[in-house]
Amino acid sequence: MGIFNFSQDLGIDLGTANTLVFVKGKGVVLREPTVVAKNKETGAVEAVGKQARNMIGRTPGNISVIRPMKDGVIADYDTTAVMIKYYIKKAMRNRSFFARKPNVMVCVPSGITMVEERAVVDASKQAGAKDAFPIAEPFAAAIGAGLPVWEPTGSMIVDIGGGTTEVAVISLGGIVTSQSIRTAGDEMDEAVTSYIRKQYGLMIGERSAESIKMDIGSAGDVTGLQELDVRGRDLLTGLPKTITITPEEVAGAVKDTVDSIVEAVKNTLESTPPELAADIMDRGIVLSGGGALLRKIDQVISDATKIPVFVTDEPLDSVAIGTGKSLDYVQHFRAHPNVSSRPSID
């Protein structure tokens, strides 16, 4: 009976860039862009996820492509609720018609306000969840990365997502100190777009900027990376144009964002109790999230802090896996609804 009760429960990593759904007993079953295409005239949803993302920059005037999450929080409530409903339905499409509604554990930034957190919970319930419980993103990332979060030892996680970077020190099932900054992967993309516009008079789309970052982006040494041809629209003539950009230029464009992330890590370390700081010196800092895939970012953070830095095995999935694993403690979250950032085992 216990298996039946929990077999449908879901963990949702509701990210600014991508949404992942973890089904208990199955793992991550869905990974889609956090994007919705809507008809401006009727308000009807035309597409969700990958299908909607493929429409970015290619839609007619009556279709608008919306990213309903901004900086890790809901910017468009109704659209977010529709999107969550779509993803829950898709993740559970093989379930019995008579099965109960799922409990949903949904990830939120640690710096979220109570109003923003309530919006996430309400949107999840509106989308079909029986109960919805928020869990702080860095805590979920630490669980997903396999860190010993329940033990009396300091673990440091840096989760670099699309909209936010979450830095936290965790011990004994709680966040001891943390910092959440709304500077992450999206800002790197915007920096690349801005640089190319100013330097070359070329307008490129957000998908192109992300591709450039992934292909030749680096936080440090660019040895071995090649130049890249970039296509866009010439701002002077309005005609298509191709330019060639170097890895050094991309590294320069994203430097300010990388520096902000490094500063957040240093600030968190400075506010860490000495005993836990000693643990982190021994164990190192763990990176997760899509931003952890930026070349050399682990080395740059290590050089700045003089602490070893490791990228977790599955940086894109860590938060979703941790959110899903936290379903094991759903009774605790039900009993302690105001401790989303500090779950613990009694």
Averaged pLDDT for residues 203-231:
94
Within a domain: residue 42? yes
Within a domain: residue 98? yes
Within a domain: residue 345? no
Averaged pLDDT for residues 190-205:
96
* HSE (side-chain half, CA atoms, 13 Å) at 145: 27
Same domain for 149 and 285, yes or no, is yes
Within a domain: residue 344? no
Same domain for 34 and 104, yes or no, is yes
| Lowest mean pLDDT, pick from 23-32, 110-119, 283-292, 325-334 | 325-334
Same domain for 7 and 78, yes or no, is yes
Any residues with CB less than 8 A from the CB of 226 and at least 6 apart, and which? Answer: 216, 247
Same domain for 50 and 117, yes or no, is yes
pLDDT score of 151 more than 90: yes
Any residues with CB less than 8 A from the CB of 233 and at least 6 apart, and which? Answer: 202, 203, 204, 239, 240, 241
Same domain for 162 and 296, yes or no, is yes
Same domain for 105 and 34, yes or no, is yes
Any residues with CB less than 8 A from the CB of 346 and at least 6 apart, and which? Answer: 332
Same domain for 80 and 211, yes or no, is no
Within a domain: residue 259? no
pLDDT digits (tens, 9 = 90+) for 267-287: 999 999 999 999 999 999 999
Same domain for 46 and 155, yes or no, is no
Same domain for 67 and 157, yes or no, is no
Residue 323 structural domain:
2-140+318-335
Q: How confident is the model at residue 95 (pLDDT cuts 50, 70, 90)?
A: low
CATH label of the domain that carries residue 87: 3.30.420.40
Distances (CA, A) of 335 to 105, 140, 202, 230, 338: 14, 19, 55, 53, 9
Please indicate whether residue 301 or residue 43 has the higher confidence score (pLDDT). Answer: 301
Same domain for 116 and 178, yes or no, is no
Q: What 8-state DSSP symbol labels residue 327?
A: G
pLDDT score of 6 more than 70: no
The number of domains in the chain is: 3
Strand-pairing partners, residue 150, are none
pLDDT digits (tens, 9 = 90+) for 302-318: 999 999 999 999 999 99
Instruction: Indicate the residue type of 322.
Output: G
Same domain for 110 and 249, yes or no, is no
Distance CA 56, CA 50 (A): 10
